[in-house]
Amino acid sequence: EVYTEEEVRQFYVTGRAVIEDIEARRFPFDGSYRDWRPDPSWGIPEPHPQWDRYPGYDVPLTHFRPLKDVAHPPPLDLE
């Protein structure tokens, strides 16, 4: 089981609300971002070279549970 019944129900509730926003052309689907560009001075961020050793790197933001069957590297010594 990846998602609970309640999580799946909430996906549909949220999805229907987003469809309503799109059809009504409400922000952010109103076209106001069409010409937006990031400040060129921001640059492109780089992940930490040992990003995969930080605790929680394997917890997807979609369901907040660690991934199964992942080859985990040794943890980074933060001390």
**pLDDT at 72 (0 to 100):** 67
**pLDDT at 10 (0 to 100):** 95
By the 8 A CB rule, do 23 and 44 touch? Answer: no
The predicted-structure confidence for 21-78, as pLDDT tens digits, reads as follows 999 999 999 999 899 999 999 999 998 888 777 777 667 777 667 667 777 667 667 6
pLDDT band at 13 (very low <50, low <70, confident <90, very high): very high
Rounded Cα distance between 51 and 55, Å, is: 9
By the 8 A CB rule, do 70 and 52 touch? Answer: no
Judge whether residue 15 has pLDDT over 80: yes
